[in-house]
Structure 1
Amino acid sequence: VMMDMFTRLPMTPVTSYPGKMAANHSVQAAFDTTDGGYTSLTGTGLRFGYAVPANVCTDIDGTMPLSAILAIVDEASTWAVVAADACRRPGVSIHLQIERMRPSPIQPGERLSVVSHVTKLGKAIGFISASVSDEEGRLVARGTSVEMG
């Protein structure tokens, strides 16, 4: 069931997942993506590579808008909560915040690295931080999320 939910994750440009997912609390998953990226889901968060497709670069200058980065941070935050929660509840975002750290625009074809980490998980609320970096490791954006589950 968890594998089926993970394959529908819309933010990763992946056609298949040849990896395995453990059923215990410290979930580990590693998958090869069609663009050579790597995705991992651990007991504390999520890390994945993302090749920016042209169809998400909808700003007037043909670059990736901050709202698209926020959508990626939102999805990554939800999966971080799934990894950290013993019951695997995905939760619903009740607060999202994003801050652009790199002034230059993100072009189609750029590769981004997204890392999300649960900073605190209670019975009903989770707090998550996320960062988005470019290929050179420069911080592109950082965000926070509050999830209710």
Structure 2
Amino acid sequence: MVEGLDRVRVIYLVFAVLAAAPVAIYSFSRVRSKKMSLSKLEVLNTFLRVTHKVMPLGFGALFHVVPSEVSKSNKVTVRMKVPNHLCIGPAGSGGMPLSVLMSLFDDISTWSCVTSEAKKRPGVSVFLEAKWRATSDGVPPRATILPPGREVRIESSMMKRGRQMSFMNIECRDDKSDELLAEGRHTKFLPMGFGYEFLFEHLFPFADLISKAVGKEGKRNDRLIEGASKKSIMSHIGELKWSEDKVGVAEATFKVLPIHKNPMGGMHGGAQSVLAQLAAEELMKGTKVGVKEMNMTYMSMGKGEVIVEASQGGSGDVKVTLRRKKGGGVVSEGVFNF
């Protein structure tokens, strides 16, 4: 997920843009008129191209999708076939886990933030929720909802956006029957700092031009995206050794590698949600039902090693906490209903 540009890269890109000032002044009026005529889909695609050139994708490479449509009201639509590498079990037989779908919700709803204002702020996730909807026969098992190859349509709608916060609703539907398969909510904190906001609001056309020349991450990201489909998402997470000396608790230590990070250098929200679901399912192993609903509250950046711990909640749900091994600070918390 693109959570924002870190300060070093923003400053570097700003100076690179300013270095091209003579050319910028000469062509400003022509570029500005073109900028004003861009559709929201073109603006979003340009934004994604710029960030792709200058920021490492990390875990986001596994969820690489492209927007299909963007409406005037900032509804972002993505049409896709469920890829095998985002499913679990032999040959993807277990379908796409809810945490993986929620990671897609994260990216796609963030795009609604980008297209909703001139500053194009992706913001930082605060709260994210996803739940399966019952199928026509009333049963929501993962394998029959999102098996590999199923054609789905994911739509994000901006419900409210202020100066500080934005609120989006997301739906996943069968693209042929229009059946509602899953839905979610996403809350983001928007402020990105003066450098980012000035660059992406006032110098956006030139940021695109300069990123093509100075962007060093583009080729690495292309290779990462190409290789993502050759391994299952669970192989990127790796084997977890669960503690056996704690009764009623599933606990493991997880090392955050470059593939698990977001562009800011911390643990990607999608990696956190997948890890949290694995912990919840480890605690509930032996049950015949899967996760029906989950939410994650993000509190701080995860780096180095994190400890994931799942325990039974008072109302029958499972609570999962991710905290940094060094210092013990809470990274995120999740609640899972089975």
TM over 0.5: yes
Of the candidates 86, 96, 107, which is equivalent to residue 128 of structure 2? 96
Equivalent position SS for 1:29: helix
1:85 Cα deviation after fit: 2.0
Give the AA of the match of 2:35: A
1:42 Cα deviation after fit: 3.3
Check whether the contact 1:48–1:113 (CA below 8 A) recurs between aligned residues. Answer: yes
Matched, 1:126 2:166: yes
1:27 Cα deviation after fit: 4.0
Distance 1:130 1:26 in 2: 25
Distance 1:146 1:38 in 2: 20
* TM-score of the pair, normalised by structure 1: 0.73
Check whether the contact 1:59–1:65 (CA below 8 A) recurs between aligned residues. Answer: no
1:93 Cα deviation after fit: 1.1
Gaps of 5+ in 2: 1-33, 46-65, 191-338
Distance 1:119 1:113 in 2: 19
Aligned to 2:306: none
Give the AA of the match of 2:163: K
Q: Give 4+ residue runs of structure 1 displaced > 3 Å after superposition.
A: 22-27
Check whether the contact 1:26–1:42 (CA below 8 A) recurs between aligned residues. Answer: no
For 1:34-49, what aligned pairs fall within 5 Å after superposition? 39-43=68-72, 44-49=74-79
Higher helix share: 2
* TM-score of the pair, normalised by structure 2: 0.34
% same residue: 25
Distance 2:38 2:167 in 1: 19
For 1:80-95, what aligned pairs fall within 5 Å after superposition? 80-95=112-127
Check whether the contact 1:27–1:83 (CA below 8 A) recurs between aligned residues. Answer: no
Of the candidates 54, 58, 63, which is equivalent to residue 84 of structure 2? 54
1:68 Cα deviation after fit: 1.1
Distance 1:141 1:24 in 2: 36
For the aligned residue pairs, the C-alpha RMSD in angstroms reads 2.4
Of the candidates 135, 151, 169, which is equivalent to residue 111 of structure 1? 151
Relative distance call for 1:24 and 1:86 in structure 2 (3 A) is: same
Distance 1:25 1:66 in 2: 38
Deviations 1:105-141 (A, max 9, x none): 3110011101101100000100000100013110010
Q: Could you say which structure has the larger radius of gyration?
A: 2
Of the candidates 18, 23, 27, which is equivalent to residue 35 of structure 2? 23
Distance 1:72 1:38 in 2: 12
Distance 2:154 2:167 in 1: 17
Distance 1:138 1:29 in 2: 25
Gaps of 5+ in 1: 1-21, 32-36
Equivalences, count: 123
Aligned to 1:147: 188
Distance 1:25 1:116 in 2: 23
Higher strand share: 1
